[in-house]
Structure 1
Amino acid sequence: MTDRTEGHGGTAVAGAAAQDGGGEPMVRVEDLSRTYGTGAAAVHALRGVTFTVPRGELVALKGRSGSGKTTLLNLVGGLDTPDGGSVAVDGLELAALGEKGLLELRRERIGFIFQSFGLIPILSAAENVGVPMRLRKEDPRAREERVELLLGLVGLADHARQRPGELSGGQQQRVAIARALANRPALIIADEPTGQLDAETGHAVMELLRAVVRSEGVTALVATHDAAMLDLADRVLELNDGRIVEHV
């Protein structure tokens, strides 16, 4: 398994995770609730959601639009704050971290993959993959070596100098997967990563993500409508009207 604390410089989040996370599931969600708005206009996005994601597994989250999938991913990723309940990632209670701690957690321990790819248009594929390491001020030589390794891992070694506009949708998502792995995260959070891809390309991307979970020793929580993705998952959670209604 990849040593995901390597190069983190003994940061508080990385150190605490290494000390406290060994016996914990990668993600622990307990009685989580989130409501937007008030009164008659209130939207109850999540209602008492509880589940765990074991380390090293790919867990798929399915449900119709509006079922609460994106809200749940945002809460697990520390991008939003729940109204009730708790979230722990890699042994760390998110509510105890504060803004600085959450920023560090997202930068050091979580890799995000989005439906819209989220690549920087003026940067090459290699430069996009290297952005998280630049933000962390990683040694340039180590950064370049890591970028080369990751582009090879996702099958884009020959496209390092191309910009996103010169790549297909599937290739852009592969770059996004490589970028998500740049800082050796403990957890990958992916929100509809095949949503803009045709069925064949989407299946190839999901098979790649499945292989990456195995080869990099990471955990993944993936929201998807893609039936092929559900087949590749270790476990499937179904959300309906803000509640977990099925564990498969």
Structure 2
Amino acid sequence: MSEQQQSGPPVATAAGVAAAPGPTATVDEVVRVDRVSRTFGRGERAVHAVRDVSFVAGRGELVAVRGRSGAGKTTLLNLVGGLDRPDSGQVRVAGHDLGAAGERELLRLRRGTVGFVFQTFGLIPILSAAENVGVPLRLAKVPAAEREERVAVLLELVGLGGHAAQRPYELSGGQQQRVALARALANEPDLLIADEPTGQLDSETGRSIMDLLRAVVHARGMTALVATHDPALIDLADRTLTLRDGHLVPAP
């Protein structure tokens, strides 16, 4: 689908070099990023990873974040996911001001409100598919019977109901990423963050994962931010944000 800039809610505001106004409110917004910047290092060696970025993302929306390597995609996702803090500006997720949150609140947010899917899958090798999916539920102290039922439902959701007992090395790359997605959904997050989730997969498998992400987001009314550089996968998103040298830039 096409990129959108200031065309009604939800809106992405292109910051560019000049300062830009904050993002326009959207109905049932889950993510609000308002004039956020993040710099690593100082002086001549400073890297301005994210510069004055503003956007909002609403419930049930799959937003692709694209840009060349070094454009700031991962840094932006880390800021929205509470894995890093901005130098300036504000990040709000499901009503939580991440800049004002303490470490305990951020930990609760990462365990319950935000789900993460990474390029490298991040599965625990000695655990079965079902056990990997159940890890977040164990951390949340969900009772065993409820945990097992939810794990079974999630594995069916991602098409792996018959692979519950298999360990990661017994699964293909696409199957491992499906397990990782099921794990990210375990605690029913409001926001799903996926950083190059198809980067280690062939094009056909990558598209199937993106199709699955889109279906889950729309069916469950979640919000997803997906960093990718694959044009075929970007076309599956509801909206696209383009980063260049840390800036959010307008559609061409």
User: Normalised by the size of structure 1, how large is the TM-score?
Assistant: 0.89
Deviations 1:114-154 (A, max 9, x none): 00000000000000000000001101000000000000000
Cα 1:111–1:122 shift into 2, 3 Å: same
Match for residue 110 of structure 1?
114
Q: Which residue of 2 aligns with 1:198?
A: 202
Q: Is the deviation greater in 73-82 or in 220-229?
A: 220-229
Aligned residue for 2:229, secondary structure, equals coil
Q: CA deviation at 1:170?
A: 0.2
Query: Structure 1: how far apart are the matches of 2:242 and 2:218?
Result: 23
In structure 2, C-alpha distance between the alignment counterparts of 1:39 and 1:24, rounded to whole Å: 41
Contact 1:239/1:246 (CA < 8 Å) preserved in 2?
no
Match of 1:143 in 2: 147
Give 4+ residue runs of structure 1 displaced > 3 Å after superposition: none
**Counterpart check, 1:244 vs 2:236:** no
Are the counterparts in 1 of residues 60 and 220 from structure 2 also a CA contact under 8 Å?
A: no
Greater displacement, 189-198 / 224-233? 224-233
- Secondary structure of the residue aligned to 2:213 is helix
1:170 aligns with 2:174: yes
Q: Report the Cα offset of residue 228 of structure 1.
A: 2.1
Residues 161-182 of structure 1: CA distance to partner in whole angstroms, max 9, x if unpaired?
0000000000000000000000
- 2:78 is matched with 74
Q: Paired residue for 1:52, among 50, 56, 60?
A: 56
Q: Distance in 1 between matches of 2:250 and 2:143?
A: 45
**What residue number does 1:5 align with?**
none
Q: Which residue of 2 aligns with 1:227?
A: 231
5 Å-filtered alignment, 1:4-15, equals: none
- CA offsets 1:1-60 (integer angstroms, 9 cap, x no match): xxxxxxxxxxxxxxxxxxxxx955110001100000001010000110011111110000
Identical columns (%): 67
* Shift, 1:246, TM fit: 2.5
Match of residue 17 from structure 2: none
Aligned partners of 1:121, 1:216: CA distance in 2, in Å?
A: 29
Please give the alpha-carbon distance, in whole angstroms, between the structure 2 residues aligned to 1:25 and 1:211: 19
- Report the alpha carbon displacement of residue 160 of structure 1 after superposing the two structures with TM: 0.4
3-state SS, counterpart of residue 95 of structure 1:
coil
Gaps of 5+ in 2: 1-25
2:222 is the alignment partner of 1:218: yes
For residues 213 and 201 of structure 2, the distance between their equivalents in structure 1, rounded to whole angstroms, comes to: 14
Equivalent residues, number: 227
Which protein is richer in helix relative to its size?
1
Residue 158 of structure 1 pairs with residue 148 of structure 2: no
TM score, norm. by length of structure 2 = 0.88
CA 1:24 to 1:97, structure 2 compared with 1: closer, same or farther past 3 Å?
farther
Q: Is the 8 A contact 1:24 1:91 kept in 2?
A: no
Separation (CA, whole Å) in 2 of partners of 1:49 and 1:215:
29
Cα separation, 2, equivalents of 1:118 and 1:52: 28
Contact kept, 8 Å, 1:33 with 1:48, in 2: the verdict is yes
1:247 Cα deviation from its structure 2 partner: 4.8
Q: Give the corresponding residue for 1:131.
A: 135
Equivalent pair of 1:24/1:90 in contact (CA under 8 Å): no
Any stretches of 5+ residues in structure 1 without a counterpart?
Answer: 1-21
CA contact (8 A) 1:235 1:247 kept: no
RMSD of aligned residue pairs (Cα, Å): 1.2
Q: Is the 8 A contact 2:27 2:58 kept in 1?
A: no
1:15 corresponds to: none
Write the letter of the residue equivalent to 1:184.
Answer: E
Equivalent of 1:99 in 103, 118, 125: 103
Q: Distance in 2 between matches of 1:216 and 1:120?
A: 26
1:207 aligns with 2:211: yes
